[in-house]
A and B are shown apart, each in its own frame.
Chain A
């Protein structure tokens, strides 16, 4: 775990680390990763990963429309919007 790795994952996570924090966070992450490296002790050959403690299959829904128009309720909760859209700084493609 080096600063470059930390800055890459910080960017992936869209977080910035100020200089003061960076060393501490790098060290913390290093320790945590070292800590979870204990997992290597386990023999997991041929063990199927467990993604959910419920080993069941999904209930699904039939295809029908149940939602109502709640545009105003949603837009008024957003940090920035006009009468129709959520607004963000112009994206250049």
Chain B
């Protein structure tokens, strides 16, 4: 029985009805992984352990809400005794002695972590081209990028290999690949999911989240991923609602904001057409549109490219060849140990960001760049706070276009940085945001972004689910429409 392209909900039913055993599901999953190895979606597989867990479940099914569901984990989450590389040569031999809280939460719910997915090195990239382990192929077309940085996770779901994956999103790393791969992905409110065990890129922006075929599946995953964690003092101490509870409630009267400053006229006509159709669809569901102004939103990308590199330059200092990870061969002294290890261990994009970060924090530049960016960050957050007085959610395209070809952005980093134009603002303000498939451009999927107010993931999921039960974009697969 094929399990390809099945949703979590569908697999749960199949398991409950004993149409398939836990072991068969995992065996099928690994078969699919191997049949799709050319995607290069995985860095490390966890086959033996996964089969053992499935076998245990066949012998005594537990009570977890996601029992036996295969999940692909972004290789940025520490997994105890399972290699964790963060897409980098630096950690090519790193086996963590502990697991991330979010991994524990998912596994405690019964999820089976089948492997670790490929990603841009240290999550720095929007195309998965910066991975030390080679780029990931988008299942929608040879030579197309899957987006990044959670590109392996997105590709694995888009190819129907797994129904679920974890991702992380610092400036769009869940939503942009979700858009480019035609799947659903949610970046929750900053602090919703513990960062303990997530290898930090930019600590004040990083947030883990679910990636799946549908908004409903995202809700099922989010229910288990969230927890207040004493080990992460930036994790929010608020009760976690049941995110599936309001999915089917009507969105009649939902006030959706459209950002005046997002100039869609610069986008491809087809992208605009897709967006306009989604608007019409939401109108038909009873939503109303209100134009809002976020006056400082155009400064989001420059703000991000100060704040994120600054934090990353410091966060990545621990990779020095002393305590874990790689060390260069035969350093003649301490300086050489540091410099050679780090120069060999990091790729160009990571180095570039570390250098920018060191620059904007260095004496004489701090006020002009870092402090200034933090001030603009507040202005951007204030803009959102005002806007959410008048609207329930904010809607925009997720990306400027559909998946592009490998190497097509040239070697101008700024062109790549602008990929995240629509996604970065939610990270700066710490707001929840998700991407759902809403159309096709040149036979490639594209996504719609919904941004919610602080801790208002439920409403995002409700709006997304309402869209999905009345459209079929999320049912499209690279091999045709899903039956």
Contacts and interface: CB of A to CB of B under 8 A. Distances in A.
**A–B in direct contact per CB < 8 Å:** yes
A40 B331 contact: no
B321 A79 contact: yes
Interface residues of B, number: 72
Interface of A: 1, 5-6, 8-10, 12-17, 21, 24-25, 28-29, 31-33, 35-42, 44, 47-54, 58-61, 70, 73-74, 77-80, 86, 88-91
A89 B322 contact: no
A53 B375 contact: no
Interface of B: 94-95, 97, 190-191, 204, 230, 233-234, 236-237, 296, 298-299, 301-303, 305-306, 313, 320-327, 331-340, 342-343, 346, 348, 351-352, 354-360, 362, 369, 371-379, 381, 411-414, 417, 428-431
Given A14-B339, A44-B379, A9 B323 contact: no
Contact of A38 (B204, B299, B378): B299
A48 B428 CA distance: 15
A84 to B, nearest CB: 14
Contacts of B379: 42, 44, 47
Given A29-B359, A35-B302, A79-B325, A52 B339 contact: no
A17 to B, nearest CB: 8
Secondary structure at the B interface, as helix, strand, loop or mixed, is: helix
Given A38-B299, A52-B204, A59 B413 contact: no
B378 A49 contact: yes
A35 B355 contact: no
Given A9-B359, A77-B95, A32 B320 contact: no
A36 B324 contact: no
B204 A89 contact: no
Given A59-B233, A88-B334, A44 B372 contact: yes
Most buried by B among A42, A59, A91: A42
Most buried by B among A24, A33, A50, A80: A50
A33 B204 contact: no
Nearest to A36: B302
Given A29-B352, A39-B373, A47-B375, 4 more contacts: A1-B359, A21-B348, A38-B299, A79-B327
Contacts of B373: 36, 39
A88 B337 contact: yes
A15 B351 contact: yes
Given A39-B373, A59-B233, A12 B362 contact: yes
B381 A44 contact: no
Contacts of B296: 42
